A and B are shown apart, each in its own frame.
Chain A
């Protein structure tokens, strides 16, 4: 199915040290390209965040211009979501799914390469929009019309173009994941023996396929309104369009997107916790099923982003209840993870620290979500810094901390060398403390009445105190990220990792680190969700270990 990699010899020019990265169709290299590119965009969008926090350190500062500020938060949000979290997870999925299911590659290696290159160019379109006439897009990552319709300059059009390209990229990637997972599992790997990370990628890919076309349609109509003078989203006398229609379309995509960004991270956590607790995951089936349940319900909750547009109360009530229902499978996961720690032999390597940090702060993000789901409370906190705090607790405290857990865990597999543990721990603590200092006070700011997306704020002692704390926190967090970058650079001379430095359970640790191009010479028959654990036990029984 995957052609026969390794059998045909590539021409000379493709074998150069750099050239082979441009022509590669190897899922591992594409995975690394995804992760590295997402890392680059993460640093870029992080710098934008620091600029915004500097502007907000005190009231009435003029670090950036007003339009500049609007461009920064628009590109920061769009970039972190579409160019960092979603693709870094596609990177993990690319690298890990074939290895975890004992396959040689993804089902469609060349389609896989196309997904990556579309992603890179789509990302560059957005990044370089800063040089467009009138600068980068400035209507927020949600780009609500009529504002985004009336915005002058080409920044907004580049935003639409960029998202169109990224949508194609993700769609092709998602189809590839599903075909791979359904068809290329090795002997013995039934659905209930599949690693939980692969389960999460299955749901991630399914959601992408279901909701991305909606986004594409909405963006296309927005482009028509801007360029062809249609009025799908603007009221214009007798040919009435509705700005609220765009919000429905956008959030029908946008809320599942939230779960697209967190489910694979939950998958990572479900892989990391048992290995460092030296236990099996508690309630494998409950965790796998809750992933599917979250994926399903995520498509029924979109209008909880729209409680203030004036929907009738039976709709408000419906979306409140459906949003709260999602808390149930999410709670199941959290309690199962906690139970995985119970009576374990907990090893606090850096990957585990990040996973435990995830568990702690993601819970806070989940709990603040309940306030937002209760629609009358949302009428107070909607579009304030409370929401900014909530979404960063979920997306940074959740997704990004989980991604770091994954990076520290799988780095030795990817590069054959360990990341430094001392620097790693320092990086974790700096990031974790900085994160909480940045975002916890933002809950309070929101409740005090500070709306989001403002370039300065009321000259009030308490507002300034919380904002200053938040800005200081963001620098501390930036330092933590910087320490990670140093760790990456130093890992070139890091300790060599064997095949399986963590004594882990899943198939990717069966092969060498890094794996050969064809992944495995031989794949053991899979007898449970922990094939390597079974293998070690059999070897021990035979006295070979």
Chain B
């Protein structure tokens, strides 16, 4: 009965040997909270694995051992109606297993919930507000710097995430598997999470709460940089954005907030083409659409700051306008 299933398991195990885990555990953790979740996962997998083997094993054993053979339907099996001791045993044993699982979860919980002690004395966690919009992520740093979709963070530094969504938007869910569990970005509420990336690199994730037509395109990326590089970026980008002379800001806003429906080159897809569209030369008209939405388009930038709106309007004009 289980040949196919066993074959599948064998195949998947072979796959696991090739890739590092092939999906048999959550992805390779790169943050202490994700590590503790993986440890919890393995703990539960241990018990459930044993129960799995007991149940499927005895099922197969009984099916083979007590098969009909040459007996007729009128031949009775053993007329056993029950056994109180046995039944008590398989009521109590699961209780003990669940106590073991529950206790381990609570034991691991502080490592998952609480931001660890800072490595350097006096080092404060970096607070980043994470806001979910249809269909992009906006990150706001303490110095006012804004980034979209790509979250930059220093390696080995505590990052506290304040996850929310603006009142006019819908629920999203912030999730980068290697950096820990997901938390919903809910209009009118703020959820707290954190990570402390142990290695430089780019980590990917995506929105995990269905939020509309381009939910699929709402990806999240965390780029973990060396500390000095991160500090330099934050300061320079912050100053440039404030002065309205950031070279990348307009493009970043467009790619995150516009391109998912209007395409990277403005060719149009779900939304109308922007390339050659008369609207792009009219900053006020753009602002009106972006702030209030139009037709199927949600108000993607209803609460943007002026400098963010300016960065987008000048980008649109340069890129797709009559001048460009």
Q: Contact residues of A with B, CB < 8 Å?
A: 66-67, 70, 139-140, 144, 146-147, 150, 152, 234-237, 240, 242-244, 277-280, 282-286, 308-310, 313, 317, 320-321, 324-325, 327-328, 331-332, 334-336, 338-339, 341-348, 356-357, 359-360, 363-364, 367-368, 370-371, 374-384, 432-433, 436-437, 440-441, 443-449, 451-458, 462, 465-466, 502-503
One of B5, B52, B216 near A66 (C-beta < 8 A): B216
Among B25, B48, B83, B113: residue with most chain A CB under 10 A: B48
One of A342, A371, A451, A462 near B208 (C-beta < 8 A): A451
Residues of A within 8 A of B173 (CB): 308, 382-383
One of B63, B106, B204 near A317 (C-beta < 8 A): B106
Residues of B within 8 A of A466 (CB): 23
Known A310-B186, A331-B90, A343-B66: A436·B8 in contact at CB below 8 Å:
yes
Q: Give me 23 A-to-B residue pairs in the complex whose CB atoms sit less than 8 angstroms apart, sorted by A's number.
A: A147-B171, A234-B187, A237-B167, A243-B187, A277-B77, A280-B80, A282-B83, A285-B82, A308-B183, A324-B98, A324-B102, A342-B66, A346-B77, A370-B101, A374-B40, A379-B180, A440-B8, A440-B12, A444-B24, A447-B23, A448-B27, A451-B175, A452-B210
Q: Which residue of A lies closest to B207 (CB)?
A: A451
Q: B116: CB under 8 A from chain A?
A: no
One of B23, B37, B73, B87 near A448 (C-beta < 8 A): B23
Distance in angstroms between the alpha carbons of A150 and B167 in the assembled complex? 12
One of B4, B66, B209, B296 near A341 (C-beta < 8 A): B66
Distance in angstroms between the alpha carbons of A453 and B213 in the assembled complex? 10
Interface segment among B53-61, B121-129, B152-160, B239-247: the answer is B53-61
Q: 7 closest pairs, A vs B, by CB?
A: A379-B181, A444-B23, A235-B188, A344-B77, A310-B191, A343-B78, A279-B77
Among A283, A321, A331, A376: residue with most chain B CB under 10 A: A376
Q: Contact residues of B with A, CB < 8 Å?
A: 1-2, 4-5, 8-9, 12, 15, 19, 21-27, 34, 36-37, 40-41, 44-45, 47-48, 51-52, 55-56, 58-59, 62-63, 66-68, 71, 73-83, 86-87, 90-91, 94-95, 98, 101-102, 105-106, 108-109, 112-113, 167, 169-171, 173, 175, 177, 180-184, 186-189, 191-192, 204-216, 270, 296, 298
Residues of B within 8 A of A344 (CB): 62, 66, 77-78
Q: Are B52 and A279 in contact (CB under 8 A)?
A: no
Q: Which residue of B lies closest to A457 (CB)?
A: B216
Min CB distance A333 to B, Å, is 10
Q: Which residue of A lies closest to B178 (CB)?
A: A449
Q: Are A377 and B208 in contact (CB under 8 A)?
A: no
Q: Are A444 and B22 in contact (CB under 8 A)?
A: yes
Q: Are A367 and B15 in contact (CB under 8 A)?
A: no
Min CB distance B100 to A, Å, is 11
One of A341, A375, A448 near B63 (C-beta < 8 A): A341
Among B74, B77, B78, B212: residue with most chain A CB under 10 A: B77
Min CB distance A61 to B, Å, is 12
Residues of A within 8 A of B169 (CB): 146
Residues of B within 8 A of A336 (CB): 82, 87
Min CB distance B146 to A, Å, is 22
Distance in angstroms between the alpha carbons of A448 and B86 in the assembled complex? 40
Known A244-B186, A327-B94, A332-B91: A376·B296 in contact at CB below 8 Å:
no
One of B55, B87, B109, B216 near A456 (C-beta < 8 A): B216
Q: Are B63 and A356 in contact (CB under 8 A)?
A: yes
Distance in angstroms between the alpha carbons of A146 and B209 in the assembled complex? 12
Q: Are B167 and A236 in contact (CB under 8 A)?
A: yes
Q: Which residue of B lies closest to A347 (CB)?
A: B68
Q: Are B74 and A147 in contact (CB under 8 A)?
A: no
Known A338-B59, A343-B77, A374-B105: A146·B171 in contact at CB below 8 Å:
yes
Distance in angstroms between the alpha carbons of A67 and B90 in the assembled complex? 48
Residues of A within 8 A of B79 (CB): 279-280
Q: Are B213 and A70 in contact (CB under 8 A)?
A: yes
Residues of B within 8 A of A462 (CB): 15, 19, 22-23
Min CB distance A277 to B, Å, is 5
Distance in angstroms between the alpha carbons of A446 and B36 in the assembled complex? 18
Q: Which residue of A lies closest to B296 (CB)?
A: A152
Distance in angstroms between the alpha carbons of A506 and B218 in the assembled complex? 56
Min CB distance B319 to A, Å, is 25
Residues of A within 8 A of B101 (CB): 324, 370, 374
Distance in angstroms between the alpha carbons of A175 and B78 in the assembled complex? 39
Q: Are B188 and A242 in contact (CB under 8 A)?
A: yes
Min CB distance A474 to B, Å, is 14
Q: Are B191 and A278 in contact (CB under 8 A)?
A: no
Residues of B within 8 A of A440 (CB): 5, 8-9, 12
Distance in angstroms between the alpha carbons of A345 and B74 in the assembled complex? 9
One of A67, A343, A441 near B80 (C-beta < 8 A): A343
Known A377-B37, A436-B8: A367·B86 in contact at CB below 8 Å:
no
Min CB distance A184 to B, Å, is 27
Distance in angstroms between the alpha carbons of A111 and B2 in the assembled complex? 45
Distance in angstroms between the alpha carbons of A64 and B75 in the assembled complex? 56
Distance in angstroms between the alpha carbons of A455 and B215 in the assembled complex? 9
Residues of B within 8 A of A383 (CB): 173, 182, 208-210
Distance in angstroms between the alpha carbons of A320 and B51 in the assembled complex? 19
Known A147-B212, A310-B184, A363-B55: A445·B23 in contact at CB below 8 Å:
yes
Distance in angstroms between the alpha carbons of A243 and B211 in the assembled complex? 13
Min CB distance A168 to B, Å, is 28
Q: Which residue of B lies closest to A545 (CB)?
A: B74
One of A139, A152, A437 near B8 (C-beta < 8 A): A437
Q: Are B66 and A310 in contact (CB under 8 A)?
A: no
Distance in angstroms between the alpha carbons of A327 and B87 in the assembled complex? 15
Q: Which residue of B lies closest to A367 (CB)?
A: B48
